[in-house]
Structure 1
Amino acid sequence: MLLPVIDEDGAPFWEYARQGELRVQACADCGRRRFPPRPCCPYCRSFGSRWERMSGRGRIWSYVVAHPPLLPDYAEQAPYNVIVVELAEEATPEGGRIRLVGNLVARADARLDSVDSARLRIGAAVKVAFPDPAAADGVVVPRWLLERP
């Protein structure tokens, strides 16, 4: 599996994921949430930030099904889904919502091809799941489960 590149701004996201928590960065001054993490608030230009715990619930906003040819680390699991999840938390005052990219799987430690692509639906309710850190080379990538399997 390819591991994410962890930079200074995003390091807390990955540390919280390793602990089984989904958190996103928020401005310490204006309170607006932002993802991906970055050093400066795009709304008020503050450099202050905090990390807010999310419910871990959302809806599939979009998806694709990847087919070969792919990177070798993923080819043996193809075809598999890649979904965009819009988190359930309240929208920002500008109407924006936090969206994360991941995979819909049958259980947290399942292969990427563990959910039949025919089951994918825009708007389907999902919840976050975290694989065991010991089996994830130390970096835990959040995955998604259908709320109603």
Structure 2
Amino acid sequence: MGVSTHNPASSSGNGDAVPTFEPVPVALPVGPQDEVEAPHWEGLKNGELLIQHCANCGRWIWSPSWICPQCHEFDPPWQAVDPVGEVYTWTTTHHVFPASVEFTGRVPYTTAFVSIPSADNRRLMGIVVGDQEIEIGTPVRAWIQPASDLTGGWPVLRWRKVEGERP
């Protein structure tokens, strides 16, 4: 269940050309902030979207946690999930905020909160790449922006609209 980690300009495998995306900066710190979320970031490095899945009760867990919020099992394991989902909600930013000058010249940009069906609709946030209009329910696929100076040296999760595909 790998996630594309490059800017393919060729084909998506279904005959449709995959657009090339311009890398986007990160305004917030990225990378593991503690040992609990480190496996998620390591998964992105390896081209996988990993989410915790409790082996005891089967609950999917996001945000990363050292304990299952349902059965209280410690250290829930991480599992690769299908990197497709639907836009749950979104917002478009048209002005650069003082704390995010990295986005100067890159507005407007759209941030989406995406439900992942293969993880019991846990929701993950990321910037929508490309000049793509979205709405609630729009199908999207993860794109992992490679690590660079723009991303604080860590790969980051982005979303791209997928025409004609439903999760």
On whether the aligned pair clears a TM of 0.5, the verdict is: yes
From 77, 82, 94, the equivalent of 1:67 is 94
Runs of 4+ that moved beyond 6 A: none
2:44 to 8, 14, 17: 17
Q: Show CA shifts across 1:36-55 (max 9, x none).
A: 10111100011031111110
2:153 alignment partner AA: G
RMSD of aligned alpha carbons: 1.9
Shift of 1:142: 0.8
- The one of 127, 135, 138 aligned to 1:124: 138
Q: Name the amino acid aligned to 1:100.
A: L
Q: Which residue of 2 aligns with 1:82?
A: 111
1:112-131 deviations in Å (ceiling 9; x for gaps) = xxx25xx1211011101112
Q: Which residue of 2 aligns with 1:98?
A: 122
Q: CA distance change for structure 1 residues 22 and 5 in 2, over 3 Å: closer, same or farther?
A: closer
Structure 2: distance between partners of 1:137 and 1:90: 27
The two structures have a TM-score, normalised by structure 2, of 0.73
Q: 1:140 to 1:5 in 2, by over 3 A?
A: closer
What TM-score comes out, normalization by structure 1 length? 0.81
2: distance between equivalents of 1:40 and 1:146?
A: 33
**Deviating more after overlay: 11-20 vs 64-73:** 64-73
The 1-side partners of 2:39 and 2:78 are apart by: 8
Question: Equivalents in 1 of 2:148, 2:112: separation in Å?
Answer: 25
Greater relative contact order (CA < 8 Å, ≥ 6 in sequence) = 2
Q: Distance in 1 between matches of 2:45 and 2:153?
A: 7
SS in 2 for 1:52: strand
- Please list every run of 5 or more consecutive structure 1 residues that lacks an aligned counterpart in the other structure: 92-96, 107-114
